Amino acid sequence: MHIGFLGLGNMGAPMARNLLKAGHSLTVFDLSASAVAGLVEAGAQAADSPALLASADVEVIITMLPAAAHVKGVYLGEDGLLAHVRAGVRLIDSSTIDPHSAREVAKAAAAHGNPMLDAPVSGGTGGAAAGTLTFMVGGEAADFAYAQPILAAMGKNIVHCGGAGNGQVAKVANNMLLGISMIGVAEAMALGVALGMDASVLAGVINTSSGRCWSSDTYNPFPGVMDNVPAARGYSGGFGADLMLKDLGLATEAARQAKQPVLLGAAAQQLYQSFSQQGHGALDFSAIINLYRAEHE
Q: Would you name the residues annotated as active-site residues?
A: 171
> Does 31 contact ligand NAD by CB under 6 A?
yes
Whose Cβ is closer to ligand NAD: residue 115's or residue 123's? 123
CA-wise closest residue to 53 among 26, 22, 15: 26
Please report whether residue 85 would count as binding ligand NAD according to CB under 6 A: no
Binding mask 102-131 for ligand NAD (x = CB under 6 A): -------------------xx-xx------
Q: Which is nearer to ligand NAD, 114 or 122 (CB)?
A: 122
Task: Work out which of 3, 4, 5, 7 binds ligand NAD, going by CB under 6 A.
Answer: 7
Minimum CB distance to ligand NAD smaller for 97 or for 147: 97
Closest CA to 107 of 91, 84, 85, 94: 91
Report how far residue 292's alpha carbon sits from residue 294's, in angstroms, rounded to the nearest whole number: 7
Q: Which of 42, 46, 55, 73 binds ligand NAD (CB under 6 A)?
A: 73
Give the whole-angstrom CA distance, residue 287 versus residue 275.
Answer: 9
Q: Which residues are CB-contacts of 252 (< 8 A; sequence separation ≥ 6)?
A: 262, 265, 266, 269
Do 95 and 116 meet the contact criterion of CB atoms below 8 Å apart?
no
The alpha-helical segments, DSSP class H, found in 56-130 are: 68-76, 81-84, 99-111, 124-130
Distance CA 266, CA 277 (A): 16
- Residue 184 as a binder of ligand NAD (CB under 6 A): the answer is no
In the bound state with ligand NAD, the residue whose beta carbon lies nearer, of 80 and 221, is 80
Task: Kindly state whether residue 243 participates in binding ligand NAD, applying the rule CB under 6 A.
Answer: yes
Size of the site for ligand NAD (CB under 6 A): 26
Q: Which residues bind ligand NAD (CB under 6 A)?
A: 6-12, 29-32, 35, 64-66, 70, 73-74, 95-96, 121-122, 124-125, 239, 243
